[in-house]
Amino acid sequence: MSTLNKGIEKVEVTLKWDPSPAGEPDNDLDLIAATYEADTPTDKPVYLVHFDSRSPDGTITLNRDSRTGQGFGSDEVMTLELERLAERYTRVVVGVVIQQSGGPKTFGEVPNTEVQIREGYTDLVRDDFASVAPSKSAVVAAFTRDADGEWRLQKGLRGFDADPNTFTALMGG
Ligand SMILES: [Ca+2]
pLDDT at 55 (0 to 100):
96
In single-letter form, the type of residue at position 69 comes to G
Is the pLDDT score of 2 beyond 60? no
Please state the φ and ψ torsions of residue 109, each to the nearest 5 degrees. -95, 0
CB 75 within 8 A of CB 30: no
Residue 147 CA to ligand 1 centre (angstroms): 35
Residue 162 clears pLDDT 80, i.e. is over it: yes
Ligand 1 midpoint to CA 20 (Å): 13
d(CA 38, ligand 1 centre) in Å:
29
Burial classification of residue 56, based on how many CB atoms lie within 10 Å of its CB (0-12 exposed, 13-18 middle, 19 or more buried): exposed
pLDDT band at 3 (very low <50, low <70, confident <90, very high): low
* 24 CA to centre of ligand 1 in angstroms: 16
Give percent of the chain with pLDDT exceeding 90: 96
How far apart CA 52 and CA 165 sit, in angstroms, is 12
Q: List, for residues 68-83, the tens digit of each pLDDT value.
A: 999 989 999 999 999 9
CA of 8 to the centre of ligand 1 (A): 26
- Assessment of whether the complete model's pTM goes beyond 0.85: yes
The rounded radius of gyration (Å) of the Cα atoms in the chain is 16
Give residue 76 CA to ligand 1 midpoint distance, Å: 7
Q: What is the pLDDT of residues 40-70, one digit of tens each?
A: 999 999 999 999 999 999 999 999 999 999 9
Q: Which of 102, 82, 126, 86 has its CA nearest to residue 28?
A: 102
- Whether residue 58 contacts residue 118, with contact meaning beta carbons closer than 8 Å, is answered with no
What pLDDT, on the 0 to 100 scale, is given for residue 6?
83
CA of 9 to the centre of ligand 1 (A): 26
Cα(29) to centroid(ligand 1), Å:
4
Question: How far away, in angstroms, is 154 Cα from ligand 1 center?
Answer: 24
